[in-house]
Amino acid sequence: MWAGRFREPLDSFFDHWQRSLRFDWQLLPQETAASAAHAEALRAAGVLTAGECEQITSSLAAIAAHYAEQPEAISGNAQAEDIHHFVELNLTERIGDLGLKLHTGRSRNEQIATDLRLYVRESIALLVSRLGAWAEALVSQAKAAGEAVMPSYTHLQRAEPVLVAHWLLAYVEMLLRDVSRLDDCAKRLNYCPLGSGAVAGATLALDRGIAASALDFTAPTANSMDATSDRDFVIEFLQALTMVALHASRFAEEITLFATAEFGFVELPEAFSTGSSAMPQKKNPDLTELVRAKVGRINGAAQWVTLLVKGLPLAYNKDMQETQEPVFAAAVEADRMLQVLAPFTRAVKFRADRMRAACEAGYLNAMAAATYLVHKGVPFRKAHEKIGNAVRYGLDSGRELNDLSLEELKQFGPEFEGDFFAAITLEATLDCHDVTGGTARHRVKAALADAERRIETLKETSVIQEVETTHAGA
């Protein structure tokens, strides 16, 4: 493939060590698709006849189909240095020297840049679909929860009551931002490097728009040096996956806590839990614990590529071969994580009685009580102090605010009247947060409908609508 300039053979260990087929075999669908697009550009340039182009493209399709059924046969090939070489060898085995004409006017530098863009684009399509499925599961649970309440927490201390649906919809917001980030990444990467050559551009007068169009890119890349050395899209993709994993980890942590006897807010589904080999009574949250751990692997991939690219001179360098494995690993990890989170979320059971009981103790209506005084004309800082004194009084006597008599309350201010108790019920406490994005019951009902609409719109308007992937379940 490149040995003409050399007199001595490669050191055998180095030869094996520097090869990439053991991992870039995963790019076979992208490599064959990009090669077919290049063949069309060669046909338009008069390098290939229509018959030759047809023979090459049909053979490439046959190679892709053949090895889709036995991908392990690719990485075990002893001759090929990388996926580009592998396809060329297979092509020439099928159609002889005609296969050698395919490399006219191109370089492996532009090939790998194109293959990786296609892989990431397809990965985004899959992951957007997975995120949508998980968001739908969260919305389904929010609808089922109705007006069930739970404590919210700040500093991991009970703060104010919120609807369970409000808590679930907080995660829907995170996932929709994740989709937006991935869509943005897809927009920026969707330019075709084919025709960039090794560094300075193709030496043939190729119509680069032909390959770009054939592969559904927006347009050809604008600069050959940038196109062959750009891995921004890889870093962006991995950073977006890190955010996905962070959101999944936060959800997993809360479910893990809520499933403890100390909280008792949720019951873990047996289909997604494990037991203990020593303690017969245990039901362990292995799924959520593993989800928490995955963020380390995915963020590690992002850091790997970021540090790898740091300080690289233009244009292509062999260092860039090392950007592939972290992409493959992170994409598969994120896919598997999201695959399991959607059905798990649907199967979790919320214990409304325990959550409501937790809301009725601990003065979670103190903010509503202070708001009551504000409506009576008391400045908030003074209202805060008055209610703080009332809470201290309740703590000393072991009673909640709604257990105090009106006479007892009036010692903290004359503003307390008989309507105070109606203002601090659980329902009234929820409804005093009557702002867009608040936990007032009618606001959450509206937010739930809006979330359903946005998820449906996502399916129609996401940059990547057709989900076809080559690495799912790999």
Within 10 A of 101 (CB to CB), how many other CB atoms are there?
A: 17
Domain 366-424: CATH class, spelled out: mainly alpha
Task: State residue 1's pLDDT score.
Answer: 58
Superfamily, domain 110-199+217-357+450-461: Fumarase/aspartase (Central domain) (1.20.200.10)
* Tokens matching residue 286: 């292995």
The CATH number of the domain covering residues in 11-104: 1.10.275.10
Q: Is 414 helix (H, G, I), strand (E, B) or coil?
A: coil
* Residue whose C-alpha is closest to residue 385's, from 401, 396, 398, 369: 369
| Per-domain boundaries in the chain | 11-104, 110-199+217-357+450-461, 366-424
The number of helix segments (H) and strand segments (E) in the chain equals 20, 6
Which residues, 6 or more positions from 166, have their beta carbon under 8 angstroms from its beta carbon? 439, 444, 447
384 is catalytic: no
What is the distance between the alpha carbons of residues 280 and 289, in angstroms, rounded to a whole number? 20
Task: State residue 223's pLDDT score.
Answer: 98
276 is catalytic: yes
* Residue whose C-alpha is closest to residue 195's, from 57, 60, 34, 82: 34
Task: State residue 468's pLDDT score.
Answer: 44
Phi and psi dihedrals of 157, rounded to 5?
A: -115, 145
Topology agreement, domain 11-104 and domain 366-424? no
The four Cα atoms 67, 1, 81, 10 give a dihedral, to 10 degrees, of 150
**Residue in 12, 155, 277, 405 annotated catalytic:** 155
Task: State residue 329's pLDDT score.
Answer: 98
Task: State residue 282's pLDDT score.
Answer: 85
Q: What is the mean pLDDT of each run of 10 residues along the chain (474 residues)?
A: 70 90 97 99 98 99 95 89 97 98 97 99 97 98 98 98 99 98 98 98 97 98 98 98 98 98 97 88 92 97 97 95 97 98 98 98 97 97 97 97 97 96 98 98 98 91 52 39
The model's pTM = 0.93
Longest dimension (CA), the chain: 102
Task: State residue 72's pLDDT score.
Answer: 85
**Residue in 16, 66, 276, 442 annotated catalytic:** 276
What is the distance between the alpha carbons of residues 463 and 221, in angstroms, rounded to a whole number? 19
Task: State residue 370's pLDDT score.
Answer: 98
Task: State residue 281's pLDDT score.
Answer: 84
